[in-house]
Amino acid sequence: MELTHEEEEILNGRRGEKLAKVLEVIVKVGEGLEAERLVNVTHAHISGISYKNIGDAGLEFIEKLASSNLRVSIPATVNPAGMDIKKWKEMGVKQDFAEKQLRILGSLRKLGFKMLLTCTPYLYEKIPPGSQVAWAESNAVLYANSILDLYTNREGGPLALLEAIVGKAPLYGYRLEENRRPGLVIDFSDIKRTIKERELYQAIGYYVGTIAKFKVPLIKNYPPSLLQSDNVKLFLAAVGASGSVALVRFHGEEKNLERYRPSIDDIYSALPADFSDEGTILMGCPHLSAHEIQWLANIVKRWGKPKRRVIIFTARVLENSVHKEIAALSRAGIEVYFDTCMVVADLKSMGVDKPLVDSAKAAYYLSSQGYDVRLFSRKDILRVFYGDHV
Ligand code: F3S
């Protein structure tokens, strides 16, 4: 791999042995991927920080890094943890788990990470379009590449952490323009109206990920409502759950590309769960935005307390800006948690056996954790809140 003078100096230990080791790992990964060189990244976002997922091995790795006096060299944020850091007792989290989770967060703070604790950094971090970044959360990666015109691969959590320290990443994959060209077309002409009417944005996302796999899909004839921020968030999260692709194109040249034109049955058959009406409603995968919380608060204002248990997950950064809405939701009996999410927290300890979700990503991961999940469109989940009259 071609290295700059600065990179050679780091590898030679001029800026400390520990930093040299970190860069060595990144260079090795780059060589394995046949990257010609490294590129400077200007922002990092790491996943895999829930004690539930990374256990003692992950805790040790992060504590060791933090105790070596290494620090991030660029702005860097973190994904949700395994619990709400203030209300963990209400979530039924055990003392031992909480202590270990707080140790992970303490070490990340020491390393210089900003404790955003959300999978929607794209709603809060301002990064100029065209920037190379190192993001590890799949829904955020898809949003970064597809909507914000940023450049990132789907980095592994530990790799993104090391890249945050050095501020460099191997130049390969989605960082290169030639790999961002569409590889197939998915044309929604036949079901455009139904997608909008039934709000099937996560369902078509799940279908797109299944069909695209590693190829960049070019989406055609979709309803314009797909690109509204909250809808595209659900859509891209679902693409990232069912496929390995890190970018969706909404415009582009379609000549000579393989073409798919799904029917509504294709969309429903891509869903990993059926409809039902029992269980606990969970919303906020990806984390609910301020706009979604306001929308939910308006619904509750109009229709009153939901008939079922409802739990929502969002980013702590919104705690003040939508505190009135959050208070109204709490008064209606809706449980609101920050810093964590339905997939990386322990739902069993929260007394949830059967999750009812409006996110195909959550349905996918909770099914793989053994939960009996039901997936609804956002429109349908309101019926589950209140019954058919909504
Ligand atoms: Fe976010 Fe957790 Fe879903 S990290 S995208 S809410 S699985």
Q: What are the tens digits of pLDDT across the range 172-207?
A: 999 999 999 999 999 999 999 999 999 999 999 999
Query: For atom 1 of ligand 1, which residue has the closest CA?
Result: 286
Q: Is residue 352 part of a domain?
A: yes
Please give the distance, rounded to the nearest whole angstrom, from the Cα atom of residue 209 to the centre of ligand 1: 17
Whether 208 is covered by a domain: the verdict is yes
SS3 for 246-297, per residue?
CCCECCCCCCCCEEECCCHHHHHHCCCCCCCCCCEEEEEEEEECHHHHHHHH
Cα–ligand 1 centroid distance for 389 (angstroms): 30
Q: Using the 3D structure, point to which of 177, 193, 217 is the last residue of a domain.
A: 177
Final residue before a domain boundary, out of 238, 270, 302:
270
Identify the residue whose C-alpha is closest to ligand 1 atom 3.
Answer: 285
Which residue, by CA, sits nearest to atom 2 of ligand 1? 341
Span 295-322, pLDDT tens digits? 999 999 999 999 899 999 999 999 999 9
Among 222, 248, 270, give the residue marking a domain's end.
Answer: 270
Q: What is the CATH number of the domain that holds 313?
A: 3.30.499.10
Ligand 1: residue whose CA is nearest its atom 4: 119
pLDDT band at residue 380 under the 50/70/90 scheme: confident
In this structure, the answer to whether residues 161 and 41 fall within a common structural domain is yes
My answer on whether 211 and 139 are in the same domain is no
One domain, residues 66 and 190: no
Helix (H) or strand (E) holding 376: none
Assess whether 158 and 88 both reside in one domain.
yes
Instruction: Mark whether 149 and 9 lie in a shared domain.
Output: yes
Q: Is residue 24 part of a domain?
A: yes
Parent domain of 208 = 181-270
Residue 79's pLDDT band, with cuts at 50, 70 and 90, is very high
pLDDT higher than threshold 90 for residue 387: no
Same domain? For 144 and 202 the reply is: no
- The verdict on 94 and 188 lying in the same domain is no
* In the predicted structure, residue 272 carries a pLDDT above the cut 60: no
% of the chain beyond a pLDDT of 70:
97
Report the SS3 class of residue 307.
Answer: coil
Please choose from 361, 368, 371 the residue to mutate so as to test ligand 1's pocket, defined by most ligand atoms within 8 A of CB.
361
The pLDDT assigned to 273 comes to 55
Q: Are residues 155 and 262 in the same domain?
A: no
Window from 227-231, 264-268, 365-369 with minimum mean pLDDT? 264-268
Q: Which amino acid is at 337?
A: Y
Q: What's the token pair of residue 189? A: 């002409």
pTM of the entire predicted model: 0.96
CA–centroid distance, 138 to ligand 1, in Å, is: 9
Q: Taking 80 as the threshold, does the pLDDT of residue 349 lie above it?
A: yes
162 found inside a domain: yes
Q: How far is CA 131 from its chain centroid?
A: 19
Question: Does residue 157 lie within any of the structural domains?
Answer: yes
Using a pLDDT cut of 90, give the percent of the chain over it.
Answer: 91
For ligand 1, atom 5, name the residue with the nearest CA.
286
Structure tokens at 170: 């191997």
Domain identity same for 284 and 343: yes
* Number of independent structural domains in the chain: 3
Return the beta strands (E) in the chain as ranges. 38-40, 44-46, 76-78, 134-135, 168-170, 184-187, 217-220, 258-260, 280-288, 310-314, 335-338, 355-357, 374-375
Residue 345 and residue 308 share a domain? yes
Contact call for residues 314 and 288 (beta carbons, < 8 A): yes
Helix (H) and strand (E) counts in the chain = 14, 13
Q: Which sign does the torsion angle of CA 267, 269, 271, 273 carry?
A: positive
Ligand 1 centroid distance, CA of 281 (Å): 15
262 and 222 in a common domain: yes
Please check whether residue 275 lies inside any domain of the structure: no
Ligand 1 binding pocket (C-beta < 6 A) is 79-80, 119, 139, 237, 285-287, 341, 343-344, 361-362, 365
* 27 close to 2: Cβ distance less than 8 angstroms: no
CA distance 117 to 134: 16
What value does the mean pLDDT take over residues 104-115? 98
Residues 33, 151 within the same domain = yes
Let me know if residue 92 belongs to a domain. yes
Q: CA-CA distance, 246 to 365, in Å (whole number)?
A: 18
